[in-house]
Amino acid sequence: VEKVGTKTPYINNRRAEKISQIRQELLVLKQQYKEARDEERDALSELRGILRKKLATLRRAEWHRRRGKERAKRQSAFIANPFGVTKQLLGQKRSGHLVCPKEKIDHNLHNTYSDVAWEEDLGPYRPFVEPPEPTTDFNSKEPSWKEVQEVVKAARASSAPGPSGVPYKVYKRCPRLLLRLWKILRVIWRRGRVAQQWRFAEGVWIPKEENAKNIEQFRTISLLSVEGKIFFAILSRRLTEFLLKNEYIDTAVQKGGIPKVPGCLEHTGVVTQLIREAREGKGDLAVLWLDLTNAYGSIPHKLVETALDRHHVPSKIKDLILDYYKSFKLRVTPGTVTSEWHRLEKGIITGCTIS
């Protein structure tokens, strides 16, 4: 009886067996060559040459086979987890542990997320686009069972859970529990108010570079409730569909956040082609890369509200999103120290599916 967990022994293929056989024959011929008379050595030497050529051919074929197998294995790994494979190949080394007192952490979080003018209007002088009236209405129906299933299926099972401690894997493997969650999501959609448990996030510090120690060398990532992420993933899909069908987004320019559009790859390919053409033609080309400091974390909530108004998003959907942002709080735990709860008065929530 085969024991559970035992590995199946590796069995050589026919080519590998043939290589092993020829190597044994060469060893025998080598010994015979040493013991042979002078008139026999020419024939043995010729035979050894034939076997060596055959061995080289077989080894070359076996190398190509293994290389192709390894390439197919890497392709499968990339298709299954492109982000993880790319990060492993090209990602910078990041390591370190935050060494900082709790008071400094709270001070940093307060400066990052607080905004004294968060309830003030932006003013009439800021330039905003004026999209026309929509030709396709927003889908304001309650979340369907199919939508919930699609969101959960597409979610990564390895995603870390939020304050509730429930990961995606639970809903992936417990369809009856997912059915109960779907009924709760429909009630929340009807009432137009987000569950109180979804308004809290546990944050962790992620090092930006190797051997990071200071707080400036770290960034925060929020661990949100999976149930809320499922709910807002449905809302995000409907919002994207509404904007695309009404042509409020120019997909010739905007690539990020568009379903089934490899935005980064397309932009990188265009820039690479322009650089190649400039080199071949010995022409001049200026490429400017902008890296905005805390770009997502500095967006005023009033700007989100104004953008939703200008793009004719129904008031029910807009109020649902703003209600979520209005009383959202988070705290961060660097090791054994946990910060106080801080209200998010500006910026979008990192890790949130609606963001």
Per the structure, the count of domains in the chain is: 2
Cα–Cα distance for residue pair 238/141, rounded to 1 Å? 10
Distance CA 100, CA 337 (A): 9
C-alpha 90/C-alpha 178 separation (Å) is 37
Residues 183 and 226 placed together within one structural domain of the fold: yes
The domain boundary, picked from 88, 120, 138, lies at 88
pTM over 0.85: no
Domain for residue 131, yes or no? yes
Note whether 77 and 190 are same-domain residues: no
- DSSP H or E run through 153: helix 145-154
End residue of a domain, out of 42, 64, 88: 88
Residue 313, Cβ neighbours under 10 Å: how many?
20
**Does a structural domain hold residue 275?**
yes
> Cβ distance 325 to 344 under 8 Å?
yes
- Looking at the structure, tell me whether residues 37 and 135 fall in a common domain: no
Computed over its alpha carbons, how large is the radius of gyration of the chain?
30
Confidence (pLDDT) at 243: 92
> Are the C-beta atoms of 229 and 353 separated by less than 8 Å?
yes
Has residue 7 been placed in a domain? no
Distances (CA, A) of 112 to 212, 295, 324: 19, 12, 19
Choosing from 59, 88, 117, the residue where a domain stops is: 88
The answer to whether residues 127 and 185 belong to one domain is yes
**Co-location of 261 and 280 in the same domain:** yes
9 occurs within a structural domain: no
Domain shared by 139 and 237, yes or no? yes
Same domain, 66 and 110: no
Q: Name which of 169, 166, 141, 176 is nearest 155 in CA terms.
A: 169
Task: State whether 63 and 156 are in the same domain.
Answer: no
102 and 24 in a common domain:
no
Determine, yes or no, domain membership for 350. no
Q: CB of 354 within 8 A of CB of 230? A: no
pLDDT of residue 92: 64
161 and 283 share one domain:
yes
Residue 31 belongs to domain spanning: 14-88
Give the pLDDT of residue 10: 58
Tell me whether strands 329-332 and 342-343 are parallel, antiparallel or unpaired: antiparallel
Cβ-proximal residues to 267 (8 Å cutoff; 6+ apart), any chain: 255
What is the residue-level pLDDT of the chain in tens, covering all 355 positions? 445 555 566 567 888 888 889 999 889 888 888 888 888 888 888 888 999 999 999 999 999 999 999 999 988 888 888 777 777 777 667 777 787 888 888 888 888 888 888 778 877 656 677 889 999 999 999 999 999 999 999 988 888 888 888 999 999 999 999 999 999 999 999 998 999 989 988 888 888 887 888 888 888 888 889 999 999 999 999 999 999 999 988 887 777 777 777 667 777 888 889 999 999 999 999 988 888 877 778 888 888 888 899 899 999 999 999 888 888 888 888 777 888 998 988 888 777 777 7
